[in-house]
Structure 1
Amino acid sequence: MKNFFYLIVSLMIAFAVLTVSVSAESINELQDKVNELEQDKQSIQSKSGEVSNKVEETKEKIAENQEKQEQTNSEIVEIDSKLTTTQSQLTAKENEIATTNNEIKETENEINKTEGEINQLKGEIEELRAEIAALQEKIEAREDLLKNRLRSIQQNGGNVNYLEVILGAQSFGDFINRATAVNKIMDSDKTIMEEQQADKEKLEENKQALEESKKELEDKQASLETSKRDLENKKAQLVSQKAELDQIKARLDKQMNQKQKLMANLEHKEDELHSHQMSLAEQQETLNNQAAIVEKAKREAQQQINQKRQEQQRLQQQRQQQQSSSGNSASGSSSGSSSSSSGGNLSAGGNGSLIWPTTGRQSSGFGYRSFNGGGFHYGLDIANGVGTPVNAAASGVVTRANYSPSYGNVVYIYHVDLNLTTVYGHLNSIGVSLGQSVSQGEYIGGMGNTGQSFGSHLHFEVHQGSWSYHGGVNPINYLP
């Protein structure tokens, strides 16, 4: 009976020693996890510091851009002023061209009128010349007649005494006949002389009119030549004005293009800065969420350590009491040992640590792409229909569940035991929330085509430790 009692005491002591040993190993494992979580926390803080620095740099760039915006706005105001001036010049030049066109039309009308007057003058001159020629012929004929009459008078003895002719009448009838004949002769001579004088005067008038018409013709021809030269000058001026107008329009177009380019550049910079700010805000939010999850896991692990240490102390006290009550008659020399395991510390990658998060076909792998600009793809794309279930690749805590301009609807899960973070992008719907604990294979959302996506698929990323904006690792290394 006594031996049996000693055996029982020995077994109890051995059990207590073994329990303390196992508890010690559990504490070591938990302490390793706490240290690991502390490293993750420091890594997140370091990344958060980098993001904070980038935020400060972005703020400085925003300030610089705002200064550039002010300068650009000043340039735009100056360009607007130039545009107003150029537009005024354009309007003035168009008015000049319109005036020149009107002047050209008036000059052409004057030329046509002058040409008509010249043609009329030429006709009048031809008529005058013909009339002058006819008068000259008549004058010459009369002169011949008068010469013949004078010659006849000279041959008959000089001047005819018309009184003797009348007084030499033989009868009253003869007297009347002689008187009538004398009157007719005298009237005929008078008429001839008057006509001759009138024709000579008319000839002189026609000659003078001819000279005046010639002078007027010369003046009009000179005026016509001047008008033609003026017309050519105005046409040349019009060509020059049109060339200047084209230059003004080209300058106006250039100024407008410059203004549009400045505005577009300004808007593009604004978009880039806002996009960068949003990206930094997303990174900061994700890092803060992860830091909170890691801190919570660290506290829980530390609580487990404290509980196990308290249990270890209790067992140690119990063992001492049992040893004291047994009179130290039994002792356990057995010491259990087992190799500690990190339980999922996959720094170099493993096989089957994660399950496939969805079904479908692999549409794009991890690494450099041969399409879409040949950029680096930091994930694995699995294509399938919209709404295909997407599940957690391992148990963990949700560190992000919202919308991203690039990822669309996205979920981040931090796997404490594996020290990994998985990312599920372009979801059609989100079935989990921030801070929620999920089990491996649990539904987290439906496959979709949100964000910067081309077709329904899941973009799946794996990051060692917490999520990093520097990019993840190849998910294939963790999938079965």
Structure 2
Amino acid sequence: MKKYFFLIVSTFVIFTILSTSVSAETINELQDKVNELEKDQQSVQSEAGEVKNEVQETKEKIEENQEMQAQTNSEIVEIDSKLTTTQNKLTAKENEIATTNNEITETENEITKTEEEITQLKEDIEELQAEIIALQEKIDAREELLKNRLRSIQESGGNINYIEVILGAQSFGDFINRATAVNKIMDSDKTIMEEQQADREKLEKNKQELEESKKELEEKQASLEASKKELEAKKAQLVAQKSELDSIKATLDQQMNKKQELMANLEHEEDELHTHQMSLAEQQETLNNQAAIIEKAKKEAQQKINQKIQQQQQQQQASGGSSSSGSSSGGSLSAGGNGSLIWPTTGRQSSGFGPRSFNGGSYHYGLDIANGTGTPVSAAASGVVTRANYSPSYGNVIYIYHVDLDLTTVYAHLNSIGVSLGQSVSQGQYIGGMGNTGESFGSHLHFEVHQGSWSYHGGVNPINYLP
């Protein structure tokens, strides 16, 4: 990615700006610088075009992402509606099952009650059957008695002359006795016949009641058993329907979880795209600033050429130049490097360059120097400011390109910024105060060194350049 390509051109820009003597360079050298600046300007314009295209692509991706979010949200609403409907159906089925269970329980209670009635009826039947047997025996006995009397009647000629019996009395007393006996016999025969008829009727009635009771209870029991089977079949059907609804609900829950997960991913992706979009906007701003610096440097170089031509016309000899050196400052820290840079601040080294054992084992591309908020931060060497603004990760940050050393230094997490874009600074010059801005934990200076321009892939160990 050419995210920070614009910094490459700063070498030529800074070289032009830092030149303080017109006479130190020839017209050809100045013209070469102009040519190089024009080439760099074209590179910046090309880079700006690429960033612009990437901005448009990112915008389209954000719009596509938002469309997918809208569609996914619509699907979530639809699934939620289906879930509500399914849950209502489930509740209705559960109520139906509960009602059916109550009906089954009531039917089972009725069946139990009927079975108890049948048991009682069996006992009554046994008593009735015993009564029937007794009646039958009495009837049979009377039948036998009647048969014997009929047989006697048949043997005597088929008739009994009760008048002759009475008239055959020897005395009045005998008459009375004979008449009484005849009446008794006649009454006895009549009673026997009446009892026989009554017992026969009672026997038939008992048998009929017995059959009707048995039939009624059997029909009632059969009806209850049928009702129970029907209710159990209804319950089985309801349970099957509930199981189907449970399956539908489980599927909808699964779909909902997937849609919600997709929605979360889309929202996260949108956040990343917006972050990238802001990063691209930052690059565009920096590229515009870089283009302005190059244009300014071209004008200054052209002015030097014009001055040089004018001086050659006015003088026969070349004029001398002068140079300035920056003051040095730093801290009491010691590194043992080549000393081409000075310590940018004072304090203690809280984190070195290289892999970390914490924070997921990430790589630390700088040197952290901890001290109180506002501790002065100075330029590690003379150069030109190529960036001085706020970054989401670096917080308040300053980039300085050092022409003579062909190095770029970075000063991050500042509490304040004391320089501006394009400004020339001297070694040891105050550029800002230490702070805790951006992705930072505690007041400190994050100091980076890059060979040439700033590199997205990381810098080199600052220790090698510090005294």
The normalised TM-score by structure 1 is 0.75
Structure 1 residue corresponding to 2:400, chosen from 397, 405, 413? 413
- Render the CA deviation track for 1:208-257: whole Å, top value 9, x for unaligned: 22223333333334334434433443443344234323212211211211
Offset of residue 405 of structure 1: 1.1
Structure 2 residue corresponding to 1:449, chosen from 425, 431, 436? 436
Structure 1 residue corresponding to 2:85, chosen from 67, 72, 88? 88
Amino acid across the alignment from 1:46: S
Partner of 2:332: none
For 1:406 and 1:171, locate their aligned partners in 2 and report how far apart those are by CA, in whole Å. 156
- Indicate whether 1:428 and 2:415 are aligned: yes
Offset of residue 397 of structure 1: 4.2
- Indicate whether 1:129 and 2:116 are aligned: no
Partner of 2:96: 99
Unmatched tracts of structure 2, length 5 or more: 1-20, 327-336
CA contact (8 A) 1:142 1:192 kept: no
Unmatched tracts of structure 1, length 5 or more: 1-22, 320-334, 345-349
For 1:192 and 1:449, locate their aligned partners in 2 and report how far apart those are by CA, in whole Å. 130
Offset of residue 141 of structure 1: 2.6
Partner of 1:323: none
- Indicate whether 1:384 and 2:359 are aligned: no
Partner of 2:349: 362
Offset of residue 102 of structure 1: 1.4
For 1:354 and 1:379, locate their aligned partners in 2 and report how far apart those are by CA, in whole Å. 14
For 2:421 and 2:133, locate their aligned partners in 1 and report how far apart those are by CA, in whole Å. 129
Amino acid across the alignment from 1:289: N
Partner of 1:351: 338
Offset of residue 137 of structure 1: 1.0
- Render the CA deviation track for 1:290-316: whole Å, top value 9, x for unaligned: 343344345445545544554454332
- Render the CA deviation track for 1:266-305: whole Å, top value 9, x for unaligned: 2122112111111111122223323433443454455455
**Distance 1:55-1:154 versus aligned 2 partners, 3 A rule:** same
Offset of residue 427 of structure 1: 1.9
Partner of 2:331: none
Offset of residue 134 of structure 1: 1.4
Amino acid across the alignment from 1:137: A
- Indicate whether 1:287 and 2:273 are aligned: no
Offset of residue 153 of structure 1: 7.0
**Distance 1:226-1:295 versus aligned 2 partners, 3 A rule:** same
Matches within 5 A, 1:80-479: 80-145=77-142, 147-148=144-145, 150-151=147-148, 154=151, 158=156, 160-165=160-165, 182-300=182-300, 302-304=302-304, 306-307=306-307, 309-316=309-316, 351-367=338-354, 369=356, 371-415=358-402, 418=405, 420-467=407-454, 469=456, 471-479=458-466
For 2:237 and 2:272, locate their aligned partners in 1 and report how far apart those are by CA, in whole Å. 51
Secondary structure at 1:358 match in 2: coil
For 1:270 and 1:367, locate their aligned partners in 2 and report how far apart those are by CA, in whole Å. 32
**Distance 1:175-1:476 versus aligned 2 partners, 3 A rule:** same
Offset of residue 437 of structure 1: 4.6
Secondary structure at 2:409 match in 1: strand
For 2:384 and 2:319, locate their aligned partners in 1 and report how far apart those are by CA, in whole Å. 35
Amino acid across the alignment from 2:24: S
Secondary structure at 1:246 match in 2: helix
- Render the CA deviation track for 1:172-224: whole Å, top value 9, x for unaligned: 77766665655454444433333332222222222222223333333334334
For 2:37 and 2:22, locate their aligned partners in 1 and report how far apart those are by CA, in whole Å. 24
Secondary structure at 1:440 match in 2: coil
**Distance 1:336-1:260 versus aligned 2 partners, 3 A rule:** closer
For 1:131 and 1:241, locate their aligned partners in 2 and report how far apart those are by CA, in whole Å. 51
**Distance 1:381-1:52 versus aligned 2 partners, 3 A rule:** farther
**Distance 1:436-1:64 versus aligned 2 partners, 3 A rule:** closer
CA contact (8 A) 2:386 2:400 kept: yes
Amino acid across the alignment from 2:25: I
Offset of residue 163 of structure 1: 4.6
Offset of residue 113 of structure 1: 0.9
Offset of residue 260 of structure 1: 0.8
Identity value in percent = 63
Offset of residue 44 of structure 1: 6.5
For 2:32 and 2:460, locate their aligned partners in 1 and report how far apart those are by CA, in whole Å. 23
Partner of 1:329: none
- Render the CA deviation track for 1:12-53: whole Å, top value 9, x for unaligned: xxxxxxxxxxx896134x975785586467446525533531
**Distance 1:33-1:434 versus aligned 2 partners, 3 A rule:** same
For 1:449 and 1:99, locate their aligned partners in 2 and report how far apart those are by CA, in whole Å. 66
For 1:401 and 1:164, locate their aligned partners in 2 and report how far apart those are by CA, in whole Å. 164
CA contact (8 A) 2:354 2:363 kept: yes
**Distance 1:351-1:301 versus aligned 2 partners, 3 A rule:** farther
**Distance 1:48-1:198 versus aligned 2 partners, 3 A rule:** farther
Structure 1 residue corresponding to 2:71, chosen from 69, 74, 94? 74
CA contact (8 A) 1:153 1:160 kept: no
Offset of residue 56 of structure 1: 0.7
Which piece of structure 1 moves more, 295-304 or 247-256?
295-304
For 1:181 and 1:67, locate their aligned partners in 2 and report how far apart those are by CA, in whole Å. 129
Secondary structure at 1:103 match in 2: helix
Secondary structure at 1:428 match in 2: strand
For 2:419 and 2:181, locate their aligned partners in 1 and report how far apart those are by CA, in whole Å. 154
CA contact (8 A) 2:414 2:437 kept: yes
**Distance 1:362-1:397 versus aligned 2 partners, 3 A rule:** same
CA contact (8 A) 2:382 2:425 kept: yes
**Distance 1:39-1:24 versus aligned 2 partners, 3 A rule:** closer
**Distance 1:88-1:179 versus aligned 2 partners, 3 A rule:** farther
The normalised TM-score by structure 2 is 0.76
CA contact (8 A) 1:462 1:473 kept: yes
CA RMSD after TM alignment = 4.0
